[in-house]
Amino acid sequence: MTEQNSNDIDALNERHRLRMERKKAIIDAKIAAADKQIGIIIVNTGNGKGKSSSAFGMVIRAMGHGMKVGVVQFIKGAMQTGEELFLGRFPEEVSFHSVGEGYTWETQNRERDIEKAQLAWEQAKRFLADPEIGLVVFDELNIALKYRYLDTDAVISDLLARPSMQHVVITGRGAPPELIAIADTVTEMDVVKHAFKAGISAQAGTEW
Amino acid sequence: MTEQNSNDIDALNERHRLRMERKKAIIDAKIAAADKQIGIIIVNTGNGKGKSSSAFGMVIRAMGHGMKVGVVQFIKGAMQTGEELFLGRFPEEVSFHSVGEGYTWETQNRERDIEKAQLAWEQAKRFLADPEIGLVVFDELNIALKYRYLDTDAVISDLLARPSMQHVVITGRGAPPELIAIADTVTEMDVVKHAFKAGISAQAGTEW
């Protein structure tokens, strides 16, 4: 390495250090300003992949910190999912209820779908009344709201009455605007590309 | 309920059934057309929440189906994350390597960041050479590519040389276009709203 090259790299490293020092000051100030500790409502919506898997990633995060978790799946596929098989190992830590019977186009039975959604919400309310449960996941709840199988106003009022430190994650396409309005963190998962469209099947481990 | 009301509901239920029957035919045809089984590359990018948590949701999906998993974290925060604490319980099933030292604005040291990123990629390559590992997660790899701590072309060529049934999940903001081009499934996580902006701190169980 010539002396000139070495000087250039030293200058680059120093510019990087100064830029990161300034960035740290800004970020530290933002962190200091965000000091509230309170149970939040997280909504994962949109047509892209990652809505339910992100909720299950938060489940193991919470378990890693010793929190108890409750899960209600409002739609159950034909196959048992990897997350259900795996979390079934920890009955003391995770209470897992898969109440729905399948996608609306599988059941083709509106009255039965409504009945199942209402049963699922009864279980959901038991979690929302239990301050021992630190995180609850309502997987595909948005679908039940979108089809009006459940009353959005009633669901929101139950959500807002939960214990103050309890976190809730709600997933599914088409989250209703009233739910987005009361949520703390909302992410829209957008499809940039999807393997399924390229003829690749939904595979164990990544999709279910 | 009057007879008229009852007839209306019957008609609604029947329209629902017919609509779902047609939807099922379309979806079944798409499922039949997507019959390839092959290891895929999944990229979670964007500024929203859910990139890493979705990857960890896939980890437990894969574990539920009896697959072995490898994880490399390219950036390690100051605190031990819930997912690391939790997955540490299963050393036979998950090999977890947290190699980075912290965000670029914390280390403020470009040369040391580069050295750590290269060490992390050495571990990544060991996973990519092992057909026993069904799913690998490269958490925050996109950051290392964005800062040019690793050469994107070299990383892509290692990814493409992996065992044919191995799945890879790559997370982080600012995924480079060359990586998106070779990926099978790409999701952009967009912020609709975030609790942090409302003064709520990053909390255990939801954010780390």
Mean pLDDT of the residues in chain A: 92
Taking every pair of Cα atoms in chain B, the longest distance, rounded to a whole number of angstroms, is 79
pLDDT at B129: 98
Cα(A189)–Cα(A47) distance, rounded to whole angstroms?
6
Torsional sign, CA A189, A195, A198, A202: negative
Closest-CA residue to A55 (of A159, A129, A138, A120) = A138
Chain A touched by B4 (CB under 8 Å): no
Classify residue A77 as exposed, middle or buried by CB count within 10 Å of its CB (0-12, 13-18, 19+).
middle
Residue with tokens 């069904």: B134
Residue A205: its chain B contacts at CB < 8 A? 58, 61-62, 65, 67, 134-135, 167
Q: What is the pLDDT of residues A128-152, one digit of tens each?
A: 999 999 999 999 999 999 999 999 9
Residue the block writes with tokens 């829209």: A188
**Scanning the structure block, which residue is given the tokens 């070495």?**
A6
Q: How many angstroms away from the CA of A61 is the closest CA of chain B?
A: 4
Closest Cβ opposite residue A167 in set B67, B186, B206? B206
Provide the pLDDT for residue A78: 63
DSSP-H helix ranges across B137-182: 141-146, 152-160, 177-182
In tens, the pLDDT along A41-85 reads 999 999 999 999 999 999 999 999 999 999 999 987 667 899 999
Over chain B, what is the mean pLDDT? Answer: 92
Mutate: best of B98, B203, B207, partner A, most A CBs <10 A: B203
d(CA A49, CA B54): 9
Above 90 in pLDDT, residue A124?
yes
B178 touches chain A (CB under 8 A): no
CB pairs under 8 A between A and B: 293
Which stretches within B65-172 are classed as H helix?
A: 82-87, 104-107, 110-128, 141-146, 152-160
Q: Which residue of B has its CA nearest to A88?
A: B64
Cα distance between residue A119 and residue A114, in whole Å? 9
The per-residue pLDDT for range B25-68, each reduced to its tens digit, is: 888 888 888 888 899 999 999 999 999 999 999 999 999 999 99
